[in-house]
Structure 1
């Protein structure tokens, strides 16, 4: 996850998706740090960029490890031998301006590739199917250019439907890495599927959509789900990996809905232990409900509704509050009044729809956010009959939620521009709030990334960062004394504008 500052005083801070590395660019200096110490140090290397390049820098990316390269949280390979560890050590760092891309080996910052004279108006740049590829989306959806960093060759796919990095207009198939991408060459939406490496076209399908909004591969690689614009009502198309239409979901057949508001987002369940198939496709809708489709028939088995009724079987509701001593804490709420935010104006029309669907690592739990109440995280137990496990109500809108890769623990950040805090919900104990020793963000822009590690002592670590600074640590909960929903943050390492905590003096190399 990257938080970008502006050219001049602010920095660009980028954390790899697995939390293994953090890269900070400030001025001409690029410094790379490791979550797990290498030879006793978190600091790895730093280099100086050329002035002309650093002043135009727009993108900083870290390639994914082999254990997360499938692009879906539910499919992860375990690193079991030395050869796989060597592969992970070859991960790369990409820095790009609007017309140039530089790539280094991340551990050594040894130069790897330099691509110059790129056509201007770049929308986004990412690593492609592997760290030997860079995929560049040009603005105004004119084309996609895929660069092979080993062979110094490139190829072009014309008329992508989206170029915005936040869109879901393309995706790589888990493990085998075929590319599926939405195109819009003329009036109709197209789905094309391309072979890995060569990008030869496997399938080209004209979609029966008004305005396709995105696609997602299932974690098992069997299906591609595409959802249509909300103006066309509920419409989710499920294609096979070779581009054959398998099912079209247009809403529940047992409910008559003359005012179907359509689909806002979708999400597949991760692969469960000893299961080779993804079992559920969750469809978040603009009416605030979530349809759960079983992947055998892609029919709706259950609908989740973001409403809360008080009865004897009501789940616990936790509300963030300020304690008398000025500390944020969670307190269990006794009634539905917990859902009323102080100072809220009922006349303000908030945007509708389920904006976030995130399954826990093995699909036992589902966390959701619904935009009419953007300060609440709803957590559902995905049992045979899904039920609401709990709800977490905050004083500010929720910005990020992220599950631990193995444990049933959820980190939450909010748009709190007064205090930098992290909220931690765990299946094992009541939720807690911990202050983070990092300068507050005026805009409440914080990001959090778990560190994925096979070592139990390191499994609780995460990075917390704003646009300029980052800190590595974990939340410490004293179960015997913690009765007020509070905890402390154990800070292990900091990367900041004021220097490095626990790091040796930096050395610089020339580019």
Structure 2
């Protein structure tokens, strides 16, 4: 499970590949190196902005530019290094590669309620701002200081996605009583195609990693329904329970493409995952999550807490019966079913969670489609994250008021539970992987609102070193690191100020051909998809 790419801010965020850490402290945005623990940059913020900030996100790219060196000469950093912050109506963008530049988008939702969702576009020069109640989407350009308006988008975080490599935007909308799928050109955001969908209330759209297929998930109340579209927006197949030999009749709760793009995993409300092949989108395997676990060839581990509140895993006798959601707080998640399917980076392993058994993590081999191990915890599991380079290393974070992380690795004789020092715990705890300069050891971070701890873990799962980063008032900053931002300094930061008065409303009502020819196909891309030509009349 990606580490909350679109979640609300908890005042700290790790850059996509773990090299930088951004924190909001007092009235500053502080950027630190995860390698040296050194503060690299600080950016001033309005006095009350930090308390209002709801979004804190890095720009994510698939490939890093190599050979980049930070401004202090401290080694490798990520490129590009833009970060976005937003409260209810203002968006602020900063750039670690050019600390003298920043942009401010005022009235970003165009006086139509508060900002419901904000994210970078396909490039770091685009910002997507969704207004409340699905009224409109504004796509702002940080180059031209202008915006493109799209009406009636679905404002759910999973209702839009950019196509891998080319950057075409797939967007779910509901202009009237019918859901529609829109495909937009990168850069210009001209409409290529808009098609009505046979859905009740579409919840998610996802490109497969090679960009040849689009999957759309309908609401669970419509039954078991996934729509498969070609890359140019034509319905290829509807995956439903009718005519299917597998028991998949209770509706879909989540879906995930495998990293290789070869399969699509669909988690249903019955507590099962069905794996479909992309060749013809037929089921090839079913992964069950029974309430009573009897697995002679798999290990079952259970978390124990002793009188000193020390946590550890012990082998659980079988059959094992993990606590069900009915025995826990019903506020955790009232809807049963598979909510988490996390593939490791090479697609050979998967970790899953069934909300009916919210304390349990299932680890599967995708070579044999069998359970490898099951981990049962004291509290509900809220996060599952695979390491990006150590393919068999898993981080599990549970909903507990302690700075503890649960780790699993295929080569260990037992999973590990590490409790790290974090003197001040306020707000929700979060855990993340960090980039490591060592091939054997690995780094991770656990954070609350105002403090975070960085730990280096050995290949055997033992803590080698740890450091607690305090509040901003105590953070040592090198002389000159923030001089340019002091009050009264004459340096002109020349921010880009964007307001609604500069919006350029763009639409297409001319009925011109917006066929899939604008999607930038090559013969290689078309191996597994179909290409059609059709005249469509589209209105944004």
Bin of the TM-score, shorter chain as denominator length: 0.7 to 0.9
Greater strand proportion: 1
Q: Deviations over 1:241-281 (max 9, x none)?
A: 11011221113735375x9210000001002xxxxxx1110
Q: What is the aligned partner in structure 2 of residue 304 from structure 1?
A: 287
**Whose RCO is larger (CA < 8 A, sep 6+)?**
2
Q: What is the aligned partner in structure 2 of residue 8 from structure 1?
A: none
Q: What is the aligned partner in structure 1 of residue 31 from structure 2?
A: 32
Q: What is the aligned partner in structure 2 of residue 135 from structure 1?
A: 128
Secondary structure, aligned partner of 1:405:
coil
The answer on 1:465 being equivalent to 2:454 is no
The answer on 1:489 being equivalent to 2:463 is yes
CA shift for structure 1 position 142: 0.5
- The 8 Å contact of residues 68 and 78 in structure 2, kept in 1 or not, is answered as no
Q: Matched residues in 2 for 1:183 and 1:365: separation? A: 34
Q: Deviations over 1:386-443 (max 9, x none)?
A: 10111000000001110011221110110112x2101000011121000111147577
Decide which of 19, 41, 46 is 1:50's aligned counterpart.
Answer: 46
Decide which of 304, 314, 319 is 1:336's aligned counterpart.
Answer: 319
Where in structure 2 are the equivalents of 1:126-275 lying within 5 Å?
A: 126-161=119-154, 163-164=155-156, 167-251=157-241, 253-255=243-245, 260-271=249-260
- The 8 Å contact of residues 317 and 338 in structure 1, kept in 2 or not, is answered as no
Q: Matched residues in 2 for 1:282 and 1:463: separation? A: 29
CA, structure 1 residues 97+47, in 2 after alignment: closer, same or farther (shift >3 Å)? same
When structure 1 is superposed on structure 2, of 461-470 and 174-183 the one drifting more is 461-470
Q: Matched residues in 2 for 1:234 and 1:153: separation? A: 41
Q: Deviations over 1:33-81 (max 9, x none)?
A: 12133xxx621111322336556433322222x3x3xxxxxxxx46556
The answer on 1:19 being equivalent to 2:9 is no
Aligned residue pairs total 470
- The 8 Å contact of residues 4 and 13 in structure 1, kept in 2 or not, is answered as no
Q: What is the aligned partner in structure 2 of residue 274 from structure 1?
A: none
Q: What is the aligned partner in structure 2 of residue 72 from structure 1?
A: none
Q: Deviations over 1:367-404 (max 9, x none)?
A: 11001110000011111x41011100000000111001
- The 8 Å contact of residues 56 and 83 in structure 2, kept in 1 or not, is answered as yes
Q: Matched residues in 2 for 1:201 and 1:345: separation? A: 48
The two structures, once aligned, show a CA RMSD in angstroms of 3.1
Decide which of 82, 88, 97 is 2:87's aligned counterpart.
Answer: 97
Q: What is the aligned partner in structure 1 of residue 59 from structure 2?
A: 63
- The 8 Å contact of residues 283 and 292 in structure 1, kept in 2 or not, is answered as yes
CA shift for structure 1 position 286: 0.3
CA, structure 1 residues 188+44, in 2 after alignment: closer, same or farther (shift >3 Å)? same
* TM-score normalised over the length of structure 1: 0.84
CA, structure 1 residues 33+388, in 2 after alignment: closer, same or farther (shift >3 Å)? same
- The 8 Å contact of residues 494 and 500 in structure 1, kept in 2 or not, is answered as no
- Return 5+ residue gaps in structure 1 as ranges: 6-10, 69-76, 272-277, 479-486
- Return 5+ residue gaps in structure 2 as ranges: 487-492, 494-540
Q: What is the aligned partner in structure 2 of residue 436 from structure 1?
A: 420
Q: What is the aligned partner in structure 1 of residue 335 from structure 2?
A: 351
CA shift for structure 1 position 468: 2.3
* TM-score normalised over the length of structure 2: 0.79
Secondary structure, aligned partner of 1:461:
strand
- The 8 Å contact of residues 396 and 414 in structure 1, kept in 2 or not, is answered as yes
Q: Deviations over 1:56-107 (max 9, x none)?
A: 433322222x3x3xxxxxxxx4655669999944421223333333322224
CA, structure 1 residues 53+351, in 2 after alignment: closer, same or farther (shift >3 Å)? closer
CA shift for structure 1 position 451: 2.4
